[in-house]
Amino acid sequence: MSAIAPALRARIDAAFNDRDKLAGGWSPSGELWANAPTLNRWRYAAHPVSGTLALSGYLDGESRLTEPVVAMLTGPGGIGWARTLAGWVRLALTDDRDHRTGRMILPPHAREIEIAAREAGYRAPRSSLRPIGDLKDDVRWEEIARHFEATADEPSAAMAVFYARLKRLPLPAAHAKVGGWWLCRLLDFEAA
């Protein structure tokens, strides 16, 4: 795996440090996010590189997409805040009919997955490739593997990241599940 730039690593760590504090019961003061940019008429979206939760909406009248979200809190109408990998964002009125009020915080193992994704050169596959069945049963897993072979610096690591995110598993468990499958698909047994 290739190392990620120190500045990017620092941004990821800062976001997940805030995530850890939020999970422990901390609430950011209004002063912390009051001067943050305001995303208006926002809705849930998928980040095109990571495939994880992002928000789209209008910032200063222009359509924008946020970096991936690690935590957010919203009330009626979608008013609240979000902590993304890039920083704090104030949220004003949602256009999303699926909006759920309350607090959303990524699980603790999401930090390790995000770092591994960056190190592997992960690019999310298109949603139509999303497998439904188990590795051995759904042919779309092979299509996902070919996607990572074509796009990632470390295809098997990218596959483990995808599996961890899809199945909501810690990365070591995903590596254990995907590793054997990946190896078997690469072996070419010739009939003797």
Residue 86's pLDDT band, with cuts at 50, 70 and 90, is very high
**Mean pLDDT score of the chain, rounded to an integer?**
92
Last residue of a domain, one of 48, 72, 105: 105
User: Distance between CA 162 and CA 141 in Å, rounded?
Assistant: 10
Let me know if residue 65 belongs to a domain: yes
**Tokens in use for 59?**
């910032």
- Identify the bridge partners of residue 63 per DSSP, sorted by sequence position: 58
Q: Are residues 53 and 18 in the same domain?
A: yes
Q: How confident is the model at residue 163 (pLDDT cuts 50, 70, 90)?
A: very high
| 192 in a structural domain | no
Look at residue 57 and tell me if it is in a domain.
yes
50 and 79 inside one domain: yes
**Is position 1 within any domain?**
no
Number of domains observed in the structure of the chain: 2
The reply to whether 16 and 68 lie within a common domain is: yes
* Domain assignment present for 191: no
Q: Which residues pair with 90 in a beta bridge?
A: 38, 81
The confidence score (pLDDT) of residue 95 equals: 84
Fill in the amino acid letter for 12: I
Please report the pLDDT score of residue 33 as a whole number.
Answer: 75
> Does residue 129 register a pLDDT over 70?
yes
Percentage of the chain lying above the pLDDT 70 cut: 97
- Count of residues in the chain: 192
Check: CB of residue 80 under 8 Å from CB of residue 92: no
Q: Which residues contact 106 (CB under 8 A, 6 or more apart)?
A: 19, 69, 70, 71
Name the phi and psi angles at 115, rounded to 5: -65, -45
Residues 6+ apart with CB under 8 A from 184: none
* Same domain? 92 vs 133: no
Can you read off the two tokens belonging to residue 53? 């939760």
Domain co-membership, 94 together with 118:
no
Domain, as residue range, for 176: 110-186
pLDDT in tens, 5-58: 999 999 999 999 999 999 999 988 878 877 899 999 999 999 999 999 999 999
- The phi, psi pair for 12, rounded to 5°, reads -65, -45
- pTM for the model stands at 0.88
